[in-house]
């Protein structure tokens, strides 16, 4: 590494309000009800966070049959299908829903328009838990498209009442391209009143668009399973900047930084700041000499906790 190497931090980066809320729900449930607390799917897509909560007493499961009767169960930030909600109620669990409120907003919109006779085209990634949760709000009439080619193949039963929704963690540019193809094929399609892609995803991508052209290499802190982290890497690469995603400082390779004088650093919405700090320490060990933050949007969004886990209930429990 050149001796003058500088690290430039993207702003904003890291945890969003939905992730903060989801982790706090699990931690408060552990405090109030004791271990173990069962969580359906990874609470957020980050290895460090999941391992930290496991150490505190959280047990992550995919099948509700793995949860004992009467146990406390938390739904992950990605949301779940109606079938999962119904099964959990039938099994009598003590349930706390950590679904991000911005995902819940999409679920509510789907349910409302379905009652009005709408079918849906959903823009998203097949197999992602958020997509499965949103599509699982209905038993029919919702069609997934992953790319422009899918739009040409999709065949709703009717087009008079057709609406489009999107996964909240997509690339803004990708979603816009696919939405344009949907509108070309179905000119009367109903769009969301507000874009479904969440504020945090948008802000982090916008920050990378500003930062990437001004650095020699970009590092994105995030797990491979994290959709929004993957999109940050792709945004930088599209701008012609070498970009790598790391789950921990151990993933950094010295050759990525050979001859590079400026390193951009960001983190996905599910990646904790402690990992960013550890990556900075590793980059310093590799030769970086200074760190500065770029100017960026200040995020002040805060989502309330579910009933039964708020401050008053915790004081009462204590």
Q: Are residues 45 and 121 in the same domain?
A: no
Q: Are residues 177 and 254 in the same domain?
A: no
Q: What is the CATH number of the domain that holds 246?
A: 3.40.1010.20
Average pLDDT score over the chain? 94
Q: What is the CATH number of the domain that holds 24?
A: 3.40.50.11270
pLDDT at res. 193: 75
Name the active-site residue from 42, 109, 119, 130.
130
Q: Determine the average pLDDT of the residues in 265-288.
A: 97
Query: Residue 315 — pLDDT band, cuts 50, 70, 90?
Result: very low
Give residue-wise pLDDT tens across range 204-234.
999 999 999 999 999 999 999 999 999 999 9
Token code pair at residue 6: 């500088």
Query: Residue 7 — pLDDT band, cuts 50, 70, 90?
Result: very high
Query: Is 310 a domain residue?
Result: no
What is the number of domains present in the chain?
3
Task: Choose among 19, 32, 109: nearest CA to 310.
Answer: 32
> Do 284 and 215 form a contact (C-beta atoms < 8 A)?
no
Q: Are residues 39 and 125 in the same domain?
A: no
Indicate if the pLDDT at residue 302 is higher than 50: yes
**Which sign, positive or negative, has the C-alpha torsion 133, 136, 142, 148?**
positive
Indicate if the pLDDT at residue 261 is higher than 60: yes
Query: Is 314 a domain residue?
Result: no
Q: Determine the average pLDDT of the residues in 194-209.
A: 92
Q: Are residues 10 and 77 in the same domain?
A: no
Query: Is 311 a domain residue?
Result: no
Active site residue 191: no
Q: DSSP string of 206-226? A: HHHHHHGGGSSEEEEE--TT-
Give residue-wise pLDDT tens across range 29-46.
999 999 999 999 999 999
Give residue-wise pLDDT tens across range 41-60.
999 999 999 999 999 999 99
pLDDT at res. 313: 38
Last residue of a domain, one of 99, 114, 149: 99
Query: Is 315 a domain residue?
Result: no
pLDDT at res. 317: 35
Helix axes 199-211, 172-185, angle to 10 degrees: 120
Report how far residue 155's alpha carbon sits from residue 301's, in angstroms, rounded to the nearest whole number. 38
Q: Are residues 114 and 35 in the same domain?
A: no
Residue 307 CA, chain-centre distance (Å), reads: 23
Q: Are residues 226 and 287 in the same domain?
A: yes
Q: Are residues 144 and 160 in the same domain?
A: yes
Give residue-wise pLDDT tens across range 172-191.
999 999 999 999 999 999 99
Q: Are residues 154 and 203 in the same domain?
A: no
Give residue-wise pLDDT tens across range 69-127.
999 999 999 999 999 999 999 999 999 999 999 999 999 999 999 999 999 999 999 99
Residues spanned by the domain of 58 = 17-99
Q: Are residues 82 and 107 in the same domain?
A: no
pLDDT at res. 314: 38
- Residue 154 CB-half CA count within 13 A: 27
Query: Is 317 a domain residue?
Result: no
Last residue of a domain, one of 153, 185, 217: 185
Query: Residue 196 — pLDDT band, cuts 50, 70, 90?
Result: confident
How many residues are there in the chain? Answer: 318
pLDDT > 90 fraction of the chain, expressed in percent and rounded = 92
Query: Residue 311 — pLDDT band, cuts 50, 70, 90?
Result: low
Q: Are residues 76 and 129 in the same domain?
A: no
Query: Is 316 a domain residue?
Result: no
Indicate if the pLDDT at residue 289 is higher than 90: yes
pLDDT at res. 318: 33
Query: Is 305 a domain residue?
Result: no
Last residue of a domain, one of 99, 119, 154: 99
Indicate if the pLDDT at residue 145 is higher than 80: yes
Radius of gyration from C-alpha coordinates of the chain: 21
Query: Is 1 a domain residue?
Result: no
Token code pair at residue 141: 């009439």
DSSP structure class, residue 252: -
Q: Are residues 174 and 255 in the same domain?
A: no
pLDDT at res. 212: 98
Q: Are residues 86 and 117 in the same domain?
A: no
pLDDT at res. 197: 87
């Amino acid at each position: 590494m050149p001796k003058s190497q500088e690290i430039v931090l993207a702003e904003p980066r890291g945890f969003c309000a939905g992730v903060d809320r989801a982790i706090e729900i699990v931690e408060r449930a552990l405090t109030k009800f004791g271990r173990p607390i069962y969580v359906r799917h990874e609470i957020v897509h980050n290895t460090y966070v999941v391992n930290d909560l496991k150490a505190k007493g959280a047990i992550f499961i995919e099948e509700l049959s793995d949860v004992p009767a009467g146990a406390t169960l938390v739904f992950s930030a990605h949301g779940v299908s109606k079938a999962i909600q119904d099964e959990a109620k039938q099994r009598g669990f003590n349930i706390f829903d950590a679904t991000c409120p911005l995902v819940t907003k999409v679920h509510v919109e789907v349910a409302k328009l379905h009652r009005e006779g709408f079918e849906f085209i959903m823009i998203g990634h097949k197999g992602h838990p958020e997509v499965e949760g949103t599509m699982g709000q209905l038993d029919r009439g919702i069609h997934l498209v992953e790319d422009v080619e899918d739009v040409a193949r999709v065949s709703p039963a009717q087009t008079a009442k057709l609406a489009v929704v999107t996964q909240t963690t997509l690339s803004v540019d990708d979603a816009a391209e696919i939405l344009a193809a949907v509108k070309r094929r179905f000119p009367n399609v109903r769009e969301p009143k507000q874009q479904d892609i969440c504020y945090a995803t948008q802000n982090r991508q916008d920050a990378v668009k500003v930062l990437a052209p001004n650095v020699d290499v970009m590092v994105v802190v995030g797990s491979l399973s994290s959709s929004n982290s993957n999109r940050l890497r792709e945004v930088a690469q599209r701008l012609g900047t070498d970009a790598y995603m790391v789950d921990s400082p151990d993933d950094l390779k010295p050759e990525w930084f050979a001859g590079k004088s400026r390193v951009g650093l960001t983190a996905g919405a599910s990646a904790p700041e402690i990992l960013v700090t550890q990556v900075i320490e590793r980059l310093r060990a590799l030769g970086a000499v200074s760190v500065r933050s770029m100017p960026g949007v200040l995020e002040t969004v805060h989502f309330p906790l579910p009933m039964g886990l708020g401050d008053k209930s915790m004081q009462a429990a204590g």
